A and B are shown apart, each in its own frame.
Chain A
Amino acid sequence: MSTLPRALTLPPRPATTPAEARRAARRRSRRDRATAWAFITPSVVVILGLSVVPVVWSLLLSFRADDLVTPGRWVGLDNYRALVQDPNFRTAVGNTLQYAALYVPLSLVGGLALALALNRRVRFVGLYRTLVFVPFVVSATAQGVLFSFILDPDFGVANALLHHLGVSRQGFLSDPGQAMFLLVLISLWSGVGFCVVVYLAALQDVPPELVESARLDGANLPQVLRHVTLPALTPVTVFLLLWQLISALQVFDLIYVTTKGGPLGSTTVVVYFVWQQAFQMFTAGYGAAAAYVLALALLVTGGALRLVRARQGRVEGGNS
């Protein structure tokens, strides 16, 4: 280094004294801080004002008897105590769990199976993928209106097809024994595409050498799937499990459009219950308490899954 000709590096111009330069730098960084605050203020106002504040506000509401119109009063834990005893809330929790217990595993398994089938180079595979994914962008409202028509007991095409097959007319969404299962099916129709897309992306990252060496060692396709592909997909599966579970526990739009919680309360889910309490019965405090119970359940599941994921990360790290 010392052999380099020093004359090539220009000495800094002594235009300002060091003290002046420091002052200028301080001025500039103060101005920069002000700019930073100007940049983030809109986000902070909207996000904190309409997210953090409401979270606290909701908690306070849940300790009050409040109809959103007249001044409420403090009732402590009464709302929560009433919830425990409310048969309607219990039904709503049961329905939500039933919906989630069907929708989440089916969408994951179906998504994985479809992704494996679609993960090959055949002609039209792009078209097949598009068709499987398209229902995902259709709004829950549009889905609900469309399937109310398809499943209409009197004019629907579903009963017409069954009629051709010699099966008697079904009540579908108006039958308490069928409604929930049909809602799961409709959700799967639109929701599986998301799992397919995520799994397809993850399958590109499975190292081909791994698959190839397993094949050379004499593993058949199911064995490769079980011992190579599935373990490589675990992080994505955990992510999808969490994602689908959270969306399943929050299902509302589709139910509002199709069954309005009926028939006979067979499709009343927790969010529908919250909405009814707050905006139909005007018992906002009670609704807020129900929302808090659901949020807590979501938080616990999210936390548990994160823990599982972290442990898996450690195990994988230990192996490699």
Chain B
Amino acid sequence: MNDPTTPRRPSLGWHLLLAPLALAFALPLVWLLLSSVMSDAEINRFPPALWPDGIDLSGYRYVMGNALFPRWFANSLIVAVVSVASNLLFGALGGYAFARMRFGGSRLLLALMLATMVVPFQLTMIPTFLVMKWLGLIDTLGALIVPSLVTPFAVFLFRQFFLSLPREIEEAAWIDGCSRLRVLFSIVLPLARPALATVAVLTFLTAWNDLSWPLIAINHDTMYTLQLGLTTFQGQHHTKWSAVMAGNVITVLPVLVAFLLAQRTFIQSLTSSGIKG
């Protein structure tokens, strides 16, 4: 944080530069929040009000009164939570095997897995759709969960982290007759909090924010995720902007709260996984 190029001097100049810049980034989100509590009259005139006269929650009431919106929220939550849990479990299991255990073909498998990390989504989306159709999962949450049960990213990240841990503790336990599973769960994973946090945070963000795969895999509106629901909601109610913005706030809020609570972990995950991966 310490920049030696700037000797200590009055920092007012920096504030005059940085404060408006930071505000410019925040402004669209401030407007999102403000417009979600405006009344229809305030929004639907030109020029619109720039500040609401009072807090009007009719937009939120409209959204939550909608038969489908709470359902979309639940769908998104189910998909995101299951993806996080399964990526933690299967990612740790796979990563541990690749880091610590010897088996035939492990190198080839690892290389193949790493190669799939650079495969762009649009190359796999058509056959993945066909696989999901064959499994009978189209139009179910299963179609959204199965392809993201475990990602090569999670396996690789856990492997790298386990390689950085000292072997000795595990080996002592293993020689004492502990099973691999027990070594992993009671010795290794408690030491792997940073890796667990990184995988959890990035999996949640990806699962919650995705639009393109739900758009392909889901047709029936009861199975929509929040992101998919929000776009159709906008299309159907585009004269009811306060409700659309209220729905948008509800869509953004979970990741925003998660980010603000775990900002440090979040940023560390992005920079470390990004640069090293």
Contact = CB atoms under 8 A, between A and B. Distances in A.
Interface of A: 29, 32-33, 35-37, 39-40, 42-44, 46-55, 57-58, 61, 68, 114, 117-125, 127-128, 130-135, 137-142, 144-150, 152, 154-157, 159-160, 163-164, 189, 193-194, 197-198, 201-204, 208, 211-212, 215, 221, 224, 236, 239, 243, 246, 250, 252-253, 256-257, 270-271, 274-275, 278-279, 284, 287-288, 291-292, 294-295, 298-299, 302
Nearest to B154: A43
A47 B113 contact: yes
Contacts of B151: 47
Range, interface on chain B: 35 or more
Given A40-B98, A239-B274, 12 more contacts: A35-B180, A44-B113, A50-B146, A138-B252, A140-B211, A160-B48, A193-B25, A208-B2, A236-B275, A252-B212, A278-B125, A279-B129
B271 A201 contact: yes
Contacts, number: 298
Contacts of A48: 112-113, 116
Contacts of A44: 94, 109, 113
A198 B266 CA distance: 12
Contacts of B256: 134, 137-138
A250 B46 CA distance: 37
B220 interface: no
B265 interface: no
Interface stretch (B16-24, B62-70, B188-196): B16-24
A150 B126 contact: no
Given A120-B6, A239-B275, A164 B15 contact: no
Contacts of B209: 137, 139-141
Contacts of B126: 54, 57-58, 61, 68, 278, 284, 287-288, 291
Nearest to A48: B112
B234 A139 contact: no
Contacts of B179: 35
Contacts of A138: 29, 252, 255-256
Contact of B119 (A55, A118, A119, A243): A55
B206 to A, nearest CB: 10
Interface of B: 1-6, 11, 14-15, 17-19, 21-23, 25-26, 28-29, 31-32, 35, 43-44, 46-48, 50, 90-91, 93-94, 96-98, 101-104, 106, 109, 112-113, 116, 118-131, 146-147, 149-152, 155, 179-181, 205, 208-212, 215-216, 227-228, 230-231, 234, 241, 244-245, 248, 251-252, 255-256, 259-260, 263, 266-267, 270-271, 274-275
B153 to A, nearest CB: 10
Contact of B103 (A33, A135, A224, A257): A33
B202 to A, nearest CB: 11
Contacts of A47: 113, 116, 150-152, 155
B119 A149 contact: no
Contacts of B26: 131, 134
Given A198-B274, A201-B275, A54 B127 contact: yes
Nearest to A236: B275
Nearest to B231: A257
